[in-house]
Structure 1
Amino acid sequence: MKSAAQLSAAALLLSGAADAFWRMPCTARTGLARIDPLVNPGQVSPHSHVIHGGKNFHLDTNYNDLVQSECTSCRVTEDKSAYWTPALNFIHEDGTTEVVPQIGGMLAYYLLFKNEGEKIEAFPPGFQMLAGDNRQRNFTLSFPDMEKSLWSQHPEETTQKNLGLKALGFNCLNYAINPEPSMYRHFLPDKNYMDQHCPQGIRAEIFFPSCWNGELDSPNHKDHVAYPDLVNGGKCPDSHPRRIPSLFYETIWFTNKFNGKPGQFVFSNGDPTGYGYHADFINGWDQKFLQSAIDQCGNPSGKIEDCPVFQGHIQSEADTAQCTFDVPEVLAKDNCDGPADGLCGNVPIQAGPGYATVIEPGNVEKPTGGYKPPHVTEQPAVPTLSYAPARSAVTDEYGGGISVARVNHANAGKNNGAAAPAPTPAPEALPNQSTGKGSIISTSTFTSAGVVYEVVIEEVPIYVTVDAPEKEGQVKRHYMHLRRDKEHGLLGKRHFH
């Protein structure tokens, strides 16, 4: 039995977190190449990236180039932005390397987290930013993350460095059980674990900062933005008081293609740990159009089809697949897809835990080259969530949706941070799963962008005790997951911290 305080806290989390959001399906990539116009403008990037968005992507791409793109690989034709991340590769035992297949391209979520009295501003022309640290190879905080309601009591939890490390997630996909929480695991699982537990692959996730100081860029492409104190919600630092959309990328890599084959998964920047995962963004929206979407896309489904601003601007997946950029002549000899001898750009693998060394850009003489990986080393055993009492299948082909209620028993009644609306369509009912006719614990309404929504909350509590390695100040934590039903349909299950 839950207390009234617990139930009201859960209702607050479920209904009041983000005014609106949408997920932008970029269902095809425009290319795979050693190009990074943000970090290495005019030069060949040290490592390869998978790129999505506007066609005018090249070594010196800027806002003006992107907005003039004749096409985009994203579903909304007005979104000519450039989105890119490192590619995930598999290195066979003999050193032969190939890119792991992507499933469904990439999803870019535009989450509109804000506090009372704040306004979310559209990205202006020339805005660009970077998330993550290419050279990072370790994580020194506790695993799983400390309960968010306790972060304010531990200053090390909310440094910009550590918030950035916690903005990464690598979800083991098994559609026969409930999904893992987003940003739960901040490292790439080892191959043996993936072979045994991740039949649908790995979903790589990364949050960008959503607090802004008003500058278009900064020397390291990071200092002009900052994370709020809960990563995906919370309070902005005084130095960055303005709110911009909270961008969240997710890409599914079908690692199960290599199930049972000896070898090693590694990102194209030579990172087998995942701690060095990073992402880049160059804005390619018309500012007025994007602001209209921010102000009017209030449907809690998160579907672009349900946003009136996008009507008449949505293209088919077949059209997105036709949009590719022209590979520069200097990269004509690259074989980043593989099979090839080593990582594209002859990038060495650096597993850490020390900070990775700098790899200089511009290597075109040896685009790939016979690096043989070290023997696979297993990562220490870590606790993982298990959801035996209930199961669900993720029906969204491109990576699932966003929803969360997480309440700590010791802090009942306290708001533990922002939770996003749930976008995923209803999955099939499976054994031991409610079909929407369970125990209704709360009915409430809230207003967003001038639209009144009714929220009906059905309680399906699942308690999981996670026994993490004992550290000073670390205790057992319990998680309570509630599922939100809207108009008698399950909107989706993604658990955000």
Structure 2
Amino acid sequence: MKYHLASGALAALSLAGTANAFWRMPCRGRTALERVDPIVDPGKISSHAHSVQGSGAFAESVTFDDLRSSNCTSCQVTQDMSAYWVPSLHFMYANGTTVLVQQDGGMLAYYLLYGDDPKAFPPGFRMLAGDPFQRNFTGLAVPDPAKPWTGKDVTQDALRLKALGFNCLHYSVNPPEGTLYRHFLPDKDFLDENCSDGLRLELMFPSCWNGKDLDSDDHKSHMAYPDQVITGDCPSGYETRLVSLLYEVIWNTQAFKGVDGQFVLSNGDPTGHGYHGDFITGWDEDFLQSAINTCTSESGEIEDCPLFNIQSEADTQLCKAEVPEALADDNCEGPNPTGICGGVQVQYGPAYATMGSSNSSATATTAPSYTGSTPLVPTLSYQTSQRSFASDKYGGGVTIEAVTGVTPAPSPTPVTTELIGTTTFTSAGAVYEVAIEEVDVYVTETATATAAAKHKRHLQRHHANRREHGLLAQ
């Protein structure tokens, strides 16, 4: 089976400080599913569960040296002993019983090389993105205004809210929505009707560092977002640009189509506004800096970096962290008739959540309610006119919105695949063609291309009846 893609050939950089080089770190295994968070709750049991990828040394308290000393990682590059974690997604039946939603393909951690001279994470560096207590999107337009953003849209508070993405996947109908396009969790009716291939949760971490602190009291204030979240300029006091980190996790929400209930994150959040993630570096700093300087392929594939030692997906599944004795009977995977593990309450907001525990009830504590312009049921239309295809076999892919005012790249010719038929997408902004897929693909370059390039990769489908492709454009 082959995809025949036609797109602009690496159009000239249209934004100061942008880059077209990156790699996508596949962490296919899950190191742990447990109520542990060594950043927020060091040395004790966390209030809610996390899906953890990376070093097998993950624990209630963990240091850089601990991560480095592990004999395994659930990521495919064996030099990466970092720890990556996000709240797990659960389905709550009408009677309050919860089960874990299947996580398709583990996690993808994107290392995006933005900035003039991005730096490696120093030893001991850690950070948190998102706010587990957030339940609203007050004061900001839905959908986002066209870039470049200005005014209230570039405050750090606004950028943090916009660093979350809930990407509806339905390959037989439309290409996926753009990265960080929708900033809240669609309700179940919308997911059932529109997202036949699941939901891709996305989290962008801040990449602007104050240049001195490895952590901070809130685990955030030593970092800041550039003014366009992924791209753009760093604010004063945070001029050191680190390698940019973005998480993707795909959840098989379609498995619950037609079933009475709701989806809820492990921190008791059914809105998505409280999605968050944590990172502790486990890279050798010099090695990571060499990878940043050397691994500048436009494919995003780890196989195209000569420095990486790559293990099989099967081996990533073998790396497991030790379960704390206090959690031996914790039932986070379910079925759990008492609700979310840890007894976390479901809180809709819009008020700031308390994340209190209550084992006496597995029902929502507050009726669905929103303030401002955010609707409970998303009504955003699909914006495909500024995007071109690239894909990962599990449905991963990054889309970075074009900024107005740049010179348009030539329009790509129609995209034809055996899976979705023939359709046409026109690029109104500068288009990057970046193949981040494992498919048999022929790429015909336009714009500055002088010859056609043939790229062939093997597609392994994660479901016999699922269709795989993602997006990437700038």
Matching of residue 25 in structure 1 with residue 26 in structure 2: yes
Structure ranking higher in helix proportion:
1
- Give secondary structure in 1 for the equivalent of 2:66: helix
Matched residue, 1:384: 380
- Give secondary structure in 2 for the equivalent of 1:148: coil
Matches of 1:72 and 1:327 in 2, distance apart?
A: 16
Q: Trace 1:247-326 onto structure 2 (pairs within 5 A).
A: 247-310=245-308, 313-326=309-322
Return closer, same or farther for 1:274/1:405 CA change in 2, 3 Å cut-off: closer
Matches of 2:472 and 2:432 in 1, distance apart?
A: 21
Matches of 1:146 and 1:260 in 2, distance apart?
A: 34
Matches of 1:33 and 1:206 in 2, distance apart?
A: 20
What do residues 127-171 of structure 1 show as CA deviations (whole Å, max 9, x unaligned)? 00000011100002001111122x22x2x1111111011000000
Matched residue, 1:355: 352
Q: Which amino acid aligns with 2:471?
A: R
Return closer, same or farther for 1:174/1:8 CA change in 2, 3 Å cut-off: closer
Matching of residue 198 in structure 1 with residue 189 in structure 2: no
CA positional deviation for 1:433: 3.6
- Give secondary structure in 1 for the equivalent of 2:307: helix
Matched residue, 2:87: 86
CA positional deviation for 1:487: 2.4
Q: Which amino acid aligns with 1:342?
A: G
CA positional deviation for 1:175: 1.0
Matches of 1:55 and 1:381 in 2, distance apart?
A: 39
Root-mean-square deviation (Å): 3.5
Matched residue, 1:56: 57
Matching of residue 188 in structure 1 with residue 185 in structure 2: yes
Return closer, same or farther for 1:389/1:208 CA change in 2, 3 Å cut-off: closer
Matched residue, 1:494: 471
Matches of 1:33 and 1:104 in 2, distance apart?
A: 19
Q: Which amino acid aligns with 1:106?
A: M
Matches of 1:196 and 1:397 in 2, distance apart?
A: 23
What do residues 67-101 of structure 1 show as CA deviations (whole Å, max 9, x unaligned)? 00110000000101000000001000000001100
CA positional deviation for 1:404: 4.4
Matching of residue 371 in structure 1 with residue 362 in structure 2: yes
Matches of 1:57 and 1:136 in 2, distance apart?
A: 26
* Kept in 1: contact 2:90–2:100 (CA 8 A): yes
Return closer, same or farther for 1:195/1:92 CA change in 2, 3 Å cut-off: same
1:228 to 226, 229, 253: 226
Matching of residue 147 in structure 1 with residue 143 in structure 2: no
Q: Which amino acid aligns with 1:277?
A: Y
Matches of 1:82 and 1:139 in 2, distance apart?
A: 29
Matches of 1:430 and 1:123 in 2, distance apart?
A: 41
Matches of 2:296 and 2:125 in 1, distance apart?
A: 24
Matches of 2:43 and 2:31 in 1, distance apart?
A: 19
Return closer, same or farther for 1:395/1:246 CA change in 2, 3 Å cut-off: closer
Return closer, same or farther for 1:199/1:298 CA change in 2, 3 Å cut-off: same
Matches of 1:51 and 1:57 in 2, distance apart?
A: 8
Matching of residue 399 in structure 1 with residue 399 in structure 2: no
CA positional deviation for 1:494: 1.9
Matched residue, 1:178: 175
Q: Which amino acid aligns with 2:193?
A: Q
* Kept in 2: contact 1:175–1:393 (CA 8 A): no
* Kept in 1: contact 2:395–2:470 (CA 8 A): no
Matching of residue 209 in structure 1 with residue 206 in structure 2: yes
* Kept in 2: contact 1:342–1:369 (CA 8 A): no
Q: Which amino acid aligns with 1:487?
A: A
Matches of 2:122 and 2:389 in 1, distance apart?
A: 39
Matched residue, 1:339: 335
Q: Trace 1:38-117 onto structure 2 (pairs within 5 A).
A: 38-114=39-115
Matches of 2:16 and 2:424 in 1, distance apart?
A: 20
* Kept in 2: contact 1:442–1:456 (CA 8 A): no
1:431 to 405, 421, 427: 421
Return closer, same or farther for 1:490/1:343 CA change in 2, 3 Å cut-off: same
* Kept in 2: contact 1:169–1:206 (CA 8 A): yes
- Give secondary structure in 2 for the equivalent of 1:217: coil
- Give secondary structure in 1 for the equivalent of 2:421: coil
Return closer, same or farther for 1:403/1:321 CA change in 2, 3 Å cut-off: same
What do residues 269-323 of structure 1 show as CA deviations (whole Å, max 9, x unaligned)? 000000000000011011111111000001100000001111xx10001100000
CA positional deviation for 1:62: 1.5
Unaligned 5+ runs, structure 1: 1-6, 416-424, 446-454, 460-484
After TM superposition, the score normalised by the length of structure 2 is: 0.82
CA positional deviation for 1:496: 6.3
After TM superposition, the score normalised by the length of structure 1 is: 0.78
Matches of 2:232 and 2:200 in 1, distance apart?
A: 25
Return closer, same or farther for 1:348/1:405 CA change in 2, 3 Å cut-off: closer
